[in-house]
Amino acid sequence: MSVSAVERSAMRRALALARRGPRGVNPQVGAVILSPDGDVLAEGWHHGVGTPHAEVDALSQLAPGAARGTTAVVTLEPCNHTGHTGPCALALIEAGVARVVYSAEDPGVRSGGGAARLRAAGVDVAGGVLVDDGVALIDDWLVATRLGRPYITVKWAQSLDGRAAASDGTSRWITGPAARADVHERRASTDAILAGTGTILADDPALTARTPAGALHEHQPIPVVLGTRAVPADAAVRRHPHPPLFYDDLHVAVADLHARGIHRLFVEGGPTVASAFLRAGLYDEILAYTAPVLLGGDRLALTDIGVATIGAARRLRVASIEKLGDDLLIVAHPRPDATRAERSS
């Protein structure tokens, strides 16, 4: 079904409106209601958990019956289930909306299917409009919805011979300032950053995202601490802009973070924690910052990840290799076939 220039323009406006909403358990969604002549009658966006969805927010600004025959332009396929609020597909049908134009499809098992319900009720539906922009807007939410957990990045810094520290335990700094600045930029783009209690006790990290000048980035990831050892009351992580979350079980942590609306988790907790996530198959991206330094010894960047024979090796797909000053950043992802093997092991 064709889409008009007016509808495309309205979709761009809806995408801008969606960004006003908070990131969290629900996706950011925007909506614009157009008259049959293409005039904007109402706008809306999702304001957070428990509030009306974008379509209903926009419809609420119209007088009863004023939405009949209109077109609803929405950044995400209208939902088809009852949660904190009712199904948006039904709300649009009951309001008499004649046409719905949406960007990204809803992948949810319970929430998806809104387009089919609308069509069954006689509503004209056009999907996939500015779909790249629509998916990019809620990419984190889409991944978390599909996986049922956050998208997990595991990061470590290592010497050229795969060591995370010298024999005396010192590790500051294996990599140079360009690599460290890149890490902080990536921290600032995530929802939460996780470290183990071993790292907290040994290095006392603040788990903040900072600029090269030392100032805090505007967005700060929520600090997460994993482990059974007590964290001192004066630890730097306790002075983080967000109160830290503490867990003693990896799987409980991942499940609870997902329930809290954490879409992207940045694991930066030393060899023990990194290895635990890899061993459990809980990773979607690996960032290996590698410095042209030789350390020797037994302070490996990874410990046991459950590989007893070469046939069980975790095979990865290299996405990129970037030079950062004298250091290299290797970004890798698990291969789809390797991921299935890990989950079956």
The bridge status of strand 222-226 relative to strand 192-196 is parallel
CA distance linking residue 181 with residue 183, whole number of Å: 5
Element (H, E) at 330: strand 327-334
Half-sphere exposure of 195 (CA within 13 A, CB side): 23
Please give the positions annotated as active site.
Answer: 55
CA distance linking residue 188 with residue 210, whole number of Å: 8
What letter represents residue 12's amino acid? R
CA distance linking residue 75 with residue 196, whole number of Å: 38
Tokens found for residue 133: 């922009």
CA 209 to chain centre: 17
SS3 277: helix
Number of helical H runs and strand E runs in the chain: 11, 13
Contact 134, 105 (CB under 8 A): no
Q: Which long-range contacts (CB under 8 A, 24 or more apart) does 35-44 make?
A: 35/70, 36/69, 36/70, 36/71, 36/98, 38/4, 38/6, 40/10, 40/13, 41/66, 41/67, 41/70, 43/13, 43/14, 43/17, 44/17
